[in-house]
């Protein structure tokens, strides 16, 4: 294996570690999503591309302030979670289990 590639991969954060940090972050910083009948689910975490996809559903679908919530999530997650620089938010229809 290429030593540079091996060194780079060694520095990547574990997907499970990022997942746990995201769940804690969402519970601490965005409880209003659940309090207002919405739900969030982590759809994908890619340590290699430093990206995460989060889906908002329930009352978030059709909510007039969901674009502001999405923007806040994108900014705050990229700032606060090490190893994540790209945050994609999807708004879905229907209900789902949070996290």
Per residue in 41-93, pLDDT (tens digit) is 999 999 999 999 999 998 888 888 889 999 999 999 999 999 999 999 999 86
Q: For residue 75, what are the domain limits?
A: 13-91
72 within a domain of the structure (yes/no): yes
**3-state SS string for the chain:** CCHHHHHHHHHCCCHHHHHHHHHHHHHHHCCHHHHCCEEEEEEEEECCCCEEEEEEEECCCCCCCHHHHHHHHHHHHHHHCCCCCEEEEEECCCCCCCC
The pTM of this model reads 0.78
Q: Does position 29 have pLDDT exceeding 50, yes or no?
A: yes
Alpha-carbon Rg for the chain, nearest whole angstrom, is 15
1 within a domain of the structure (yes/no): no
Q: How many domains does the chain have?
A: 1
């Amino acid at each position: 294996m290429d030593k540079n590639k091996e060194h780079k991969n060694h520095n990547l954060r574990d997907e499970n570690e990022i997942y746990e940090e995201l769940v804690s972050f969402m519970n601490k910083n965005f409880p209003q999503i659940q309090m207002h009948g919405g739900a969030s689910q982590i759809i994908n975490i890619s340590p290699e591309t430093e990206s995460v996809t989060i889906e908002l559903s329930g009352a978030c679908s059709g909510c007039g302030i969901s674009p502001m919530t999405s923007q806040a999530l994108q900014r705050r997650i990229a700032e606060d979670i090490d190893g994540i620089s790209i945050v994609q938010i999807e708004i879905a229809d229907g209900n789902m289990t949070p996290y």
